[in-house]
Structure 1
Amino acid sequence: MIDFAIGMCLGIAFSAACGFRIFVPPLVMSIASLSGNLTLAPGFAWIGTYPALIGLAIAVLLEVSAYYLPVVDNFLDTLEIPVAIALGTAIAAANLGEVNPLLRWSLAAIAGGGTAGAIESFTSVTRLDSTTNTGGLGNGILATLEVLSAITLSILALLLPLFAGVVVLLVLSLVFRQGRKPQRKYRI
């Protein structure tokens, strides 16, 4: 049962990190698997291969770089919401170990995909607000904070998975609290 809880916290934390940058968590998982610090569920061993490591490293470099380009960052946000949900689901499933497939994918979709989607949606709205209020000048700061959040959360998931799970719950509570605040109406 403790292994399941750890796997669930790992999956949710990596999924949350996908909401900040979609390719950072799989890259961290690949490095951890290759170094023997992470055992992936059956069917996901390919993440811990050198071709996957190289591909994910290139994807991270392209994704992170693209978020520093005006207009491209907002365009990527619209593409990354469904990708973050799908990848968050797969990453959560990859960390659940040997569990009944129906349970694995149900939990992965709800917890992993839901978490990744909520955080990616929040970052998209935040970037759109930044674009509107700063003409895009503040977006570079947001991009830096997001990549640092993805890296930190991914490493925290590996080192202290239960604590990372608690951190994700706190982040989600902030995301949902922000989403429930009434928006100010401006009159022209």
Structure 2
Amino acid sequence: MEYTEIIFSVFLGIGLAAAVGFRVFLPLLVLSLSAFYDIIPLNESWVWAGSLSAVIILAVATIVEILGYYIPWFDNALDTIAIPLAAVAGTAVMMATLADMDPVVTWALAIIAGGGTAAVVKGNTSALRLTSTATTGGLANPVVATVETGTSTLMSLVSVFIAPLAFLFVVLIFFGIYKFYKKLKKKRPPSA
């Protein structure tokens, strides 16, 4: 595998992992559809993810997940299981996109870059939903859910078709998270 292919597969995996942080199953569905239609190659041990049965199962899971975020109180409950699930799914999408690399490097990239990216994004979207619930009594949660689903869809599609741009989006998302917490830290009153 050439270095440019490796770099593109890493960008693809990180972009999909970030998308997993917004919706767990939607990026997996996009990955599965992309493999099914031979748009992207998968790691040979993940070829099953491009099968018709995988597409159908992931489509059902995606629909259930998206609709679940529009049910009051259930959306916050869904977030509690979605954070660890996102880390696993982020690792999985990264593993699926990496090919012809040393297994140690593949697993390290998958766990750190894939799982880590998904967990950080999901943790922050969960905090946003909790804040929305606390400040609006949950009235703004459907808006948050719609934005998250749209962002996951956009990130997934950009990852598949323009992987370097998806990586740039991930860098911008992390920069935004960093700036938000830096600003939040400045607003805290000094402890006595």
TM-score, with length taken from structure 1? 0.96
Cα separation, 1, equivalents of 2:164 and 2:68 = 32
Cα separation, 2, equivalents of 1:11 and 1:22 = 14
Give matches, 1:86-165, under 5 Å: 86-165=88-167
Cα separation, 2, equivalents of 1:57 and 1:113 = 22
Cα separation, 1, equivalents of 2:114 and 2:5 = 17
Q: 1:184 Cα shift?
A: 5.2
- Conservation of the 8 A alpha-carbon contact between 1:42 and 1:98: no
What's the counterpart of residue 71 of structure 2?
A: 69
Structure 2 gap segments, 5+ residues each:
none
- Conservation of the 8 A alpha-carbon contact between 1:8 and 1:95: yes
What's the counterpart of residue 79 of structure 1?
A: 81
Cα separation, 2, equivalents of 1:42 and 1:72 = 37
Superposed CA offset, 1:38-74 (max 9, x none): 1001211111001100000000000000000010000
- Conservation of the 8 A alpha-carbon contact between 1:118 and 1:175: no
What's the counterpart of residue 16 of structure 1?
A: 18
Cα separation, 1, equivalents of 2:56 and 2:43 = 21
Cα separation, 1, equivalents of 2:121 and 2:18 = 7
Cα separation, 1, equivalents of 2:180 and 2:91 = 24
Tell me the secondary structure at the aligned position of residue 172 of structure 1.
Answer: helix
**AA of the residue aligned to 1:54:** I
TM-score, with length taken from structure 2? 0.94
Greater share of helix residues, 1 or 2? Answer: 2
Identity of aligned residues (%): 37
Cα RMSD, aligned residues only: 1.1
Cα separation, 1, equivalents of 2:98 and 2:181 = 29
